[in-house]
């Protein structure tokens, strides 16, 4: 009998996602064997998704402080100072596994969840962004369905809740075919005096659940997101939340009204692990205990077990720590918005996490033990593919005979072509703050009542990080900063999303560790600290293996005056076109090598972080001096693609004369770093060039803007590109639409 019972218990904890050693540790913490409720508590809080068991030891590398940092990692979202007693709060979260199983709801609830993180800081959400990664859309079946459903889910939720979706990115590679990535970011605005914290202070204060009812949707979502993604099954579908954006809109308004009063001492979103994680985290920060009676929780389903109530991830719910005696006042405000606000427990002074059912204790563990998830510092090994991929030499591929056709193909390729098919489904004008809309390098929003704005962007490059995790991750940070700088925004800080495969394998752990080192180094060089983020591991499937290592950077910047807002398109005939930076003979890791030669090979382009910082400082100074007509960074597809994009956006041509002594494909399509494309009126050109010389920035005038609607690029009198702008524009503007069309 005893042996049978032990076997059943072992099966239970392993099924819950705990290892034998973890189970032994929790029994040591408790001084006894856990019951089913207590086992569920540990399984969720010690999951990778909640406990950051493999990533937490590596976070020590991140720079997290700076002159504008008000709140770093450790809260629902980080906070930065934007002057005038005003602050921004922002963060990103992943919803990868849910979106792979149920893409519409997975993406929609990802948006809803990150909005509530911002709301929990006391801020009004002003912008939403997303970073999406899929298999190549040439897969006319499942992948195209995933893209449609994810985009629909983001648009449906964001449009209904009234938060503009203003930017992001969409990338494709076979590495994401079995496990797409859906990362959502939100930015909020508030006065510094309005900041809220997730802390359960005041013994006797009430825990109130506000917003939606609790059901079985999202059951075990935290542990579901902390394991390899297996093929779709009914158990997985139980971990998918269901969203209601109209309820979320009411929740936003009700919470912000309550925050105006002196009723609430702590706030926490109910995300992963629901009531459990939100209450444990708030109690832990205060050094207190809590007790919660699951019978008091408003439910939408009958006969829910205590552990189901505690770990449910039903959406549109928040936890408020309310001053004793103020409960009815809080309830009155929420009732006005047709929402419930119910006392489900109280803050205690004994440091215990106590779960009751109708007043009877059904689970009791130390709060600190739930927050003390074991961590794992492993030894990584460089992936075997690096020896093969880094052996690539430029001479391994020939220069194509028709470079015009290469340009057209790149402009229409999935990673480069216009994503208007996506963002035309998003309402980016709601709230009436969007100054620069999606489709530019970064989006710019005005701060109402002020002559200033905020720049926002999300960026990644899984291919770069696959080929060189450390330098590739540095490149992601500097690319995000470039996008802000060319838009007139001074980069302030980042939030990161760490999307990787199974960290228990040495090659993935190597990628994770190297990526974090690379992110940290670039953030220090650009003075953009990490103020929060998310780790999503175990992104892999038995059929397709692990995804590319994909750190995603969400970055915000300050536009000190809206007069500084700059966009990528050429503005007027006769403007001088200026190239900043050095073009090297680099083909490795490029979009050109992937799309034209079918090779994901080579090392990533050389990156000098000091040079990068210096060049970005020059651009920002030039913009603030009113010298630039346009600014655009050189990224995927290199120089020729950047010129074409500025022409297409401005509906103007360009005549370019180069004098480089490198092979033509590297000159046109190589992705050498720290390069920018500027245009300037003739009367300001000399002043700009003098400023570049003074600051030690390499700059060369390479051509002029024209009205003949042609793109011409010569090198040493040899014609490399000669194309009508209409052909370029057609490839760029229709490429994605063609990919998403149905067969026949």
Q: How far apart are CA 724 and CA 677, in angstroms?
A: 20
* DSSP state, residue 300: S
Picking from 332, 354, 376, the residue at the C-terminal end of a domain is: 354
Q: What is the CATH number of the domain that holds 554?
A: 3.90.650.10
Residues 410 and 311 in one domain: no
Q: Is 538 part of any domain?
A: no
Residues 137 and 196 in one domain: yes
Residues 402 and 350 in one domain: no
Name the domain count of the chain. 2
Residues 417 and 298 in one domain: no
Q: Is 52 part of any domain?
A: no
Looking at residue 272, its pLDDT comes to 86
Residues 178 and 252 in one domain: yes
Which of 218, 208, 240, 209 lies closest to 314, judged by CA? 218
Share of the chain above pLDDT 90, in %: 91
Residues 325 and 416 in one domain: no
Q: Is 296 part of any domain?
A: yes
Residues 162 and 309 in one domain: yes
Distance of CA 634 to the CA centre of its chain: 21
Which residues, 6 or more positions from 188, have their beta carbon under 8 angstroms from its beta carbon?
Answer: 77, 88, 89, 90, 118, 119, 121, 123, 124, 125, 126
Residues known to be catalytic: 49, 95
Q: How far apart are CA 67 and CA 53, in angstroms?
A: 30
Distance of CA 369 to the CA centre of its chain: 30
Q: What is the CATH number of the domain that holds 337?
A: 3.30.1330.10
Residues 439 and 293 in one domain: no
What is the tens place of the pLDDT at every residue in 82-91? 999 999 999 9
Domain membership of residue 418 as a residue range: 397-493+506-523+550-740
Residues 346 and 466 in one domain: no
Picking from 354, 389, 412, the residue at the C-terminal end of a domain is: 354
What is the tens place of the pLDDT at every residue in 656-696? 999 999 999 999 999 999 999 999 999 999 999 999 999 99
Beta strands in 118-239 (DSSP E): 124-134, 165-172, 181-191, 206-211
Q: Is 499 part of any domain?
A: no
Phi, psi of 62, rounded to the nearest 5 degrees: -70, 135
Taking a C-beta distance cutoff of 8 angstroms, is the pair 699, 686 a contact?
Answer: no
The pTM of this model reads 0.95
Picking from 322, 354, 386, the residue at the C-terminal end of a domain is: 354
Q: Is 39 part of any domain?
A: no
Residues of the chain with pLDDT under 70: 1-10, 139-140, 220-239, 742-744
Q: Is 236 part of any domain?
A: yes
Q: Which three-class secondary structure state does DSSP give residue 125?
A: strand
Find where tokens 């000098």 sit: 608
The burial class, CB within 10 Å (0-12 / 13-18 / 19+), for 32 is: exposed
Residues 298 and 200 in one domain: yes
Residues 347 and 405 in one domain: no
Q: How far apart are CA 515 and CA 503, in angstroms?
A: 13
Residues 608 and 515 in one domain: yes
Q: How far apart are CA 723 and CA 710, in angstroms?
A: 6
Q: Is 273 part of any domain?
A: yes
Looking at residue 232, its pLDDT comes to 44
Q: Is 127 part of any domain?
A: yes
Looking at residue 404, its pLDDT comes to 98
């Amino acid at each position: 009998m005893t042996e049978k019972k032990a076997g059943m218990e072992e099966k239970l904890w392993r099924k819950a996602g705990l290892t034998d050693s973890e189970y032994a540790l929790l029994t040591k913490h408790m001084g006894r064997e856990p019951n089913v409720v207590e086992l569920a508590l540990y399984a969720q809080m010690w999951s990778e998704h909640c406990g950051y068991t493999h990533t937490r030891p590596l976070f020590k590398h991140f720079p997290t402080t700076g002159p504008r940092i008000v709140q770093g990692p450790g809260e629902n979202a980080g906070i930065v100072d934007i002057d005038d007693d005003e602050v921004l709060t922002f963060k990103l979260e992943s919803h990868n596994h849910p979106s792979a199983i149920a893409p519409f709801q997975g993406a929609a609830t990802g948006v809803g969840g990150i909005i509530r993180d911002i709301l929990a800081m006391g801020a009004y959400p002003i912008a939403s962004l997303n970073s999406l990664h899929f298999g190549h859309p040439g897969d006319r079946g499942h992948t195209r369905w995933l893209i449609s459903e994810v985009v629909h889910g983001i648009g449906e939720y964001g449009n209904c809740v009234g938060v503009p979706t203003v930017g992001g990115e969409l990338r494709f590679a076979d590495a994401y075919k079995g496990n797409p990535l859906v990362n959502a970011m939100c930015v909020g605005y508030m006065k510094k005096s309005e900041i809220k914290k997730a802390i359960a202070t005041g013994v006797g204060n009430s825990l109130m659940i506000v917003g939606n009812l609790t059901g079985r949707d999202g059951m075990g979502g935290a542990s579901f997101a902390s394991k390899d993604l297996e093929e779709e099954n009914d158990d997985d579908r139980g971990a998918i939340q269901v969203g209601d954006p109209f309820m979320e809109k009411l929740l936003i308004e009700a919470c912000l009204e309550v925050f105006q009063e002196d009723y609430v001492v702590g706030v926490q979103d109910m995300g992963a692990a629901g009531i459990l994680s939100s209450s444990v985290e708030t109690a832990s920060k205060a050094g207190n205990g809590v007790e919660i009676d699951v019978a008091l929780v408003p439910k939408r389903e009958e006969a829910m077990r205590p552990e189901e109530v505690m770990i449910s991830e039903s959406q549109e719910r928040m936890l408020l720590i309310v001053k004793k005696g103020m409960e009815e006042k809080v309830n009155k405000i929420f009732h006005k918005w047709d929402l419930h606000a119910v006392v489900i427990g109280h803050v205690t002074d004994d440091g215990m996490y106590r779960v009751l059912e109708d007043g009877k204790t059904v689970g009791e563990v130390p709060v600190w033990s739930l927050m003390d998830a074991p961590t794992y510092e492993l030894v990584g090994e460089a992936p075997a593919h690096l020896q093969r991929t880094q052996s690539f030499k430029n001479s391994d591929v020939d220069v194509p005979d028709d470079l015009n056709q290469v340009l057209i193909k790149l402009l229409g390729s999935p990673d480069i072509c216009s994503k208007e098919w996506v963002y035309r489904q998003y309402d980016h004008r709601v709230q009436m703050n969007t100054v620069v809309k999606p489709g530019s390098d970064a989006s710019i929003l005005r701060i109402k009542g002020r002559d200033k704005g905020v720049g926002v962007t999300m960026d990644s490059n899984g291919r770069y990080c696959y080929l060189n995790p450390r330098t590739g991750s540095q490149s992601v940070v500097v690319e995000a900063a470039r996008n802000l700088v060319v838009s007139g925004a001074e980069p302030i800080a980042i939030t990161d999303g760490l999307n990787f495969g199974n960290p228990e394998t040495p090659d993935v752990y190597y990628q994770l560790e190297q990526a974090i080192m690379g992110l940290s180094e670039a953030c220090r060089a650009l003075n953009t600290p990490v103020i929060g983020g998310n780790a999503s591991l175990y992104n892999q499937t038995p059929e397709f293996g692990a995804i590319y290592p994909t750190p995603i950077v969400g970055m915000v910047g300050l536009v000190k005056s809206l007069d500084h807002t700059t966009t990528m398109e050429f503005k007027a005939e006769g403007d001088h076109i200026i190239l900043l930076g050095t073009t090297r003979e680099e083909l490795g890791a490029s979009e050109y090598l992937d799309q034209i030669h079918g090779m994901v090979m080579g090392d990533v382009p050389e990156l000098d972080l000091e040079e990068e910082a210096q060049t970005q400082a020059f651009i920002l100074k030039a913009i603030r001096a009113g010298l630039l007509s346009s600014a655009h960074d050189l990224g995927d597809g290199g120089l020729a693609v950047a010129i074409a994009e500025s022409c297409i956006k401005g509906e103007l041509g360009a005549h370019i004369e180069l004098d480089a002594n490198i092979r033509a494909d590297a000159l046109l399509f190589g992705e050498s770093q720290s390069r920018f494309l500027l245009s300037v009126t003739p009367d300001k050109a000399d002043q700009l060039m003098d400023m570049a010389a003074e600051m030690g920035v390499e700059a060369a005038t390479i051509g002029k803007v024209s009205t003949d609607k042609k793109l011409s690029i010569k090198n040493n009198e040899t014609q490399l590109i000669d194309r009508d702008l209409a052909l370029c524009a057609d490839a760029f503007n229709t490429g994605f639409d063609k990919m998403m069309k149905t067969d026949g």
